């Protein structure tokens, strides 16, 4: 049976003995997590949605590649498993039994026996910050952190390496991933780094030691007066800050003590990260909160033939302030050259931060969160943090859609 004309599959690259295909002109996507197992897996295509009801399609031209003696997961409506697949240029030419597909081979067709291995759809990770993740450990490797003790040992080691007064900054170590299910307090951080300011950041929340609090002017008399959400936790006995702040990261100023990568090094690290994605079967990504520098790096990789993941970009838009400023940001995305459709790199939409997050107990909920020690919630009616009011959110969405920009809201 002929393949659906709307299904276009582009053969991208062979990586680590795995054959990867990118999907083109498909709006469907899915996100999954790879788990290790004993089965050797060949990952062949991104969203291999085949319009099959059985049998095969015989094309006039010989296929370039045939994979046979395997388990081809078609992901069609019947979730059929075929034995072989024929590839021609940017298309899947046919799938079916070994006998039927091998009959299509020409004198130059490369034939690869899978030896019973499984062919799965390539994966789309629909939410990454690849340009940042690529250089997260550029200065030094960060060990697995599973407990408060692990955190304190890491901070102590950094304090031994750095000079007094240099910042020790930890990003995105969410306390829900620690067995202790809490932040380290200022006294614990002081005990391992008394002469260095420490900033343990988990999104909008953080824990700071005494030096970091002092450098940012946070003491028992500190008040949040800008009308925005936020809380400085105070010790009920002493009245002094515990070191934990909630939704108040905007008040913290730090200075990195880590070496900063050059643009060339950033590019090299991003290229390596994309190859790491490929190695576990990720063939498409969506870069959230992209800025001009992100677009520039992805475009450079594409121009050099090194963009091994199909990439969709979501332009970061700040929803605050005068509407004219918000509209200007949206228009900048709409006018950007990368917004013109491209099958490999496409600035497809925008992203705004609608509310807080589940991992920090600040997501905007329909019903109250309830009192929580982990999230420092004392108000039984607390529902989370709403950053954008409904009227403004409606205007943002309308403005985006009128300019063919998909709207993404962090929530």
Whether pLDDT at 11 is above 70: no
Query: Residue 189 has what pLDDT?
Result: 99
pLDDT in tens, 148-200: 999 999 999 999 999 999 999 999 889 999 999 999 999 999 999 999 999 99
Which domains are delineated in the chain? Answer: 8-123 (2.30.40.10), 139-251 (3.10.310.70), 263-410 (3.20.20.140)
Whether pLDDT at 70 is above 50: yes
pLDDT in tens, 271-304: 999 999 999 999 999 999 999 999 999 999 999 9
Q: Vertex 86, ends 80 and 91: CA angle to 5°? A: 95
Whether pLDDT at 81 is above 60: yes
Question: Which range has highest mean pLDDT (15-19, 222-226, 357-361)?
Answer: 222-226
Query: Residue 36 has what pLDDT?
Result: 36
Whether pLDDT at 318 is above 50: yes
Predicted confidence band at 26 (pLDDT cuts at 50, 70, 90)? very low
pLDDT in tens, 202-214: 988 999 999 999 9
Query: Residue 90 has what pLDDT?
Result: 78
What does the alpha-carbon distance between residue 135 and residue 273 come to, in Å, rounded to a whole number?
Answer: 9
Secondary structure of the chain in HEC code, one letter for each residue: CCCCCCCEEEEEEEECCEEEEEEECCCCCCCCCCCCCCCCEEEEEECCCCCCCCCCCCCCCCCCEEEECCEEECCCCCCCEECEEEEECCEEEEEECHHHHHCCCCCCCEEEECCCCEEEEEEEEEEECHHHHCCCCCCCCCCCCCCHHHHHHHHHHHHHHCCCCCCEEEECCCHHHCCCCCCCCHHHHHHHCCCCCEEEEECCEEEECHHHHHHCCCCCCCCCCCCCCCEEEECCCCCCEEEEEECCHHHCCCCCCCCCCCHHHHHHHHHHHHHHHHHCCEEEEEEEEECHHHHHHHHHHHHCCCCCCEEEEEEECCCCCCHHHHHHHHHHHHHCHHHCCCCCEEEEEEEEECECCHHHCCCCCCCCCCCECCCCECCCCCCCCECCCHHHHHHHHHHHHCCCCEEEEEC
Query: Residue 56 has what pLDDT?
Result: 47
Whether pLDDT at 336 is above 80: yes
Query: Residue 164 has what pLDDT?
Result: 98
Q: Which of 57-66, 116-125, 202-211, 365-374 has the lowest mean pLDDT?
A: 57-66
Q: Which of 70-74, 103-107, 211-215, 353-357 has the lowest mean pLDDT?
A: 353-357
Whether pLDDT at 58 is above 90: no
What does the alpha-carbon distance between residue 143 and residue 119 come to, in Å, rounded to a whole number?
Answer: 34
Whether pLDDT at 31 is above 70: no
Query: Residue 60 has what pLDDT?
Result: 57
pLDDT in tens, 82-100: 999 999 997 899 999 999 9
Query: Residue 228 has what pLDDT?
Result: 84
Query: Residue 33 has what pLDDT?
Result: 34
Average pLDDT, the chain: 87
């Amino acid at each position: 049976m002929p393949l659906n004309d709307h299904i276009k599959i582009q053969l991208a690259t062979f990586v680590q003995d795995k054959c990867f295909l990118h999907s083109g002109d498909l709006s469907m996507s899915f996100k999954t997590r790879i788990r290790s197992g004993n089965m050797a897996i060949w990952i062949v295509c991104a969203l291999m949605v085949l319009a099959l009801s059985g049998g095969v399609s015989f094309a006039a031209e010989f296929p370039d590649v045939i994979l046979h003696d395997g388990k081809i997961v078609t992901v069609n409506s019947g979730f059929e498993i075929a034995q072989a697949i024929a590839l021609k240029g940017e298309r899947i030419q046919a799938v079916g039994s070994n006998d039927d597909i091998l009959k299509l081979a020409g004198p130059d067709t490369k034939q690869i026996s899978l030896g019973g291995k499984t062919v799965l759809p390539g994966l789309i990770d629909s939410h990454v910050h690849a340009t940042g993740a690529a250089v997260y450990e550029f200065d030094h490797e960060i060990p697995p952190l599973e407990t408060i003790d692990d955190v304190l040992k890491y901070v102590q080691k950094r304090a031994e390496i750095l000079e007094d007064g240099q910042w020790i900054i930890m990003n995105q170590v969410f306390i829900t991933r620690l067995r202790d299910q809490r932040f380290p307090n200022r006294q614990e951080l002081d005990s391992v780094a008394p002469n260095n300011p420490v900033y343990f950041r988990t999104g909008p929340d953080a824990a700071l030691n005494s030096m970091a609090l002092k450098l940012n002017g946070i003491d028992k008399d500190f008040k949040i007066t800008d009308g925005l959400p936020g809380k400085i936790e105070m010790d009920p006995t002493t009245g002094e800050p515990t070191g934990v702040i909630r939704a108040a990261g905007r008040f913290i100023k730090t200075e990195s003590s880590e070496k900063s990568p050059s643009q060339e090094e950033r590019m090299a690290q991003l290229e390596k990260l994309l190859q790491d994605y490929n190695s576990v079967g990720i063939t498409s990504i969506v870069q959230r909160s992209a800025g001009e520098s992100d677009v520039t790096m992805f475009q450079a990789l594409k121009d050099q033939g090194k963009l091994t993941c199909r990439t969709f970009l979501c332009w970061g838009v700040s929803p605050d302030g005068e509407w004219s400023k918000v509209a200007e940001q949206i228009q900048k995305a709409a006018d950007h050259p990368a917004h013109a459709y491209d099958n490999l790199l496409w600035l497809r939409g925008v992203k705004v931060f609608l509310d807080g997050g589940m991992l920090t107990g600040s997501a905007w909920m329909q019903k109250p969160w309830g009192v929580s020690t982990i999230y420092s919630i004392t108000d039984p009616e607390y529902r989370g943090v709403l950053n954008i009011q409904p009227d403004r959110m409606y205007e943002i969405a309308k403005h985006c859609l009128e300019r063919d920009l998909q709207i993404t809201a962090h929530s």
